[in-house]
Amino acid sequence: MVKISVGILGGSGYGGSELLRILLFHPNVEVKLVTAHEHAGKRVDQVHPNLRRLTDLVFTETVITDRLNELDCLFLGLPHGESMKLVPRLPASVKIIDLGGDFRLNDAALFEQHYGQAHTAIAQQKEFVYGLSELHARQIAKARCVANPGCFATATLLGLAPLVAHRLLRGKIIVDAKTGSSGSGAKPTANTHHPKRVNSFFAYKTFAHQHRPEIVQTLRSLDPQWQDGLIFQTHSAPMVRGIFASIYATLQTPMRAGHIGDVMSRYYRDCFFVRLIDGSPDVNWVKNTNFVDIGWAVSGDDLIVFVAIDNLVKGAAGQAVQNMNLMFGLEEQTGLIWPGSHP
C-alpha cells in the first residue's frame, strides 16, 4: 500500500495533538514532519504525553525547507495570520489543509474586520475550497487547497444547511452556542485558564465572533436569496470538549417534526458522520469522535435545531482528515471510525 506522506506545521497545540492522535493510526498515512517553534528539538511525546510509546517523532522549526517537497499533504495548525505568510511559498506539488481562519473568507475587508489584520495573500484565496465535508465533498475531492471550517461554523452550518437550501425558513435565526475550554487553545489567558472556566458560564464575542461571516458566506452560497438575519452568540461552558448549539428559527409555514426529519434525512443520506437524533443530542455522545448529532423540535412554525460536535475532532482535526481522505480518493471515513465512550 502506497502511503500519503504528511507533514503538520504547528503540531504542539490541541489541534495538532488531535491530528497526530488520528494520523498516527490512519492506515494510509505516514507522518514525516511535525513542527513547533517553541518546542523544536523536543520529542512529540514530551509535549503530548498521551502519545508515549506511539511515536518517535521530534518537533522541528516551522520553516520552509526542501523536506516539504517530499510531502503529499501538509496540515497547517498555525495561529490566525500565519498561514497566509507561508502558503505563497509552499511547493505547488503539496496539497494543503489549513485549520486556521486565513482562507475561509473570500472578502479581504471582512477578514480584516473580524481577524484584526490585513490579508497579505488574498490572491491565493481562489485556490481554497471551504472544507465543510458534508456540503462540499465534490469540490474538496478536486482541490489542492482546503480551508477547514471553524468549529462553531461547522456545528451551525450542519444544523441549518438543509433548511436554508430548501428555503424553509423566514426572518431571524438565533444561534445560541456553547463550547468547552479546549476551543481556546493550549495557552491559558485570563478568561480561559482553569480557575476561571471550571465553575463559570458566560457569553463572549457578542456581535463580533469571527465564525459568523463564514456561516453567512456559506448560507448565501446555498441560497443566494437568503437574507442575513443571523444572531450568533457564543458561550463558555464548564467542560473541556464539545460544542452544543441551539438554533432558533421560524418556518415559512407550520410543519410537523417528521417533515423536518424527512428533509434532514434526504439531505444527509450519504453523510456517514451525520447522525439524526430523536430529541436532544448530548455532547458526551460525540466526544473524541468525528460524528455530528442533530436533533430538532417543532411547534407550529417555531423550530429549534440542536447540534452537538467535538470541537477538536469534527470541529477541527477530524474534519481535516476527512477532507484529506476526499482529496486523495479514499473512503471518507478512513481512519476516523471509533465510538465515543459511555458513560
**Is 246:141 a contact under the CB 8 Å cutoff?**
no
Answer whether 308's CB lies under 8 Å from 242's CB.
Answer: yes
CA distance 329 to 305: 33
Name the nearest CA neighbour of 159 among 276, 306, 316.
306
Query: What is the torsional sign of CA 277, 280, 285, 286?
Result: positive
Q: ∠ CA(325), CA(331), CA(334), 5° rounding?
A: 70
CA distance 198 to 181: 9
Q: Is 165 exposed, middle or buried (0-12, 13-18, 19+ CB in 10 A)?
A: middle
> Is 151 one of the catalytic residues?
yes
Q: Where are the beta strands (DSSP E) in 47-168?
A: 73-76, 95-98, 128-130, 145-147
Pairing mode, strands 29-35 and 4-9: parallel
Residue pair 131/140 in contact (Cβ under 8 Å)? The answer is yes
> Which of 73, 145, 151, 271 is the catalytic position?
151
Query: Exposure pattern of 267-286 as b/e (b: 16+ CB <10 Å)?
Result: bbeeebbbbeeeeebbbebb
Residue pointed to by grid coordinates 421560524: 250
User: Is 10 in a helix, a strand, or coil?
Assistant: coil
What is the rounded distance in angstroms from the CA atom of residue 18 to the CA atom of residue 71?
20
Catalytic center residues: 151
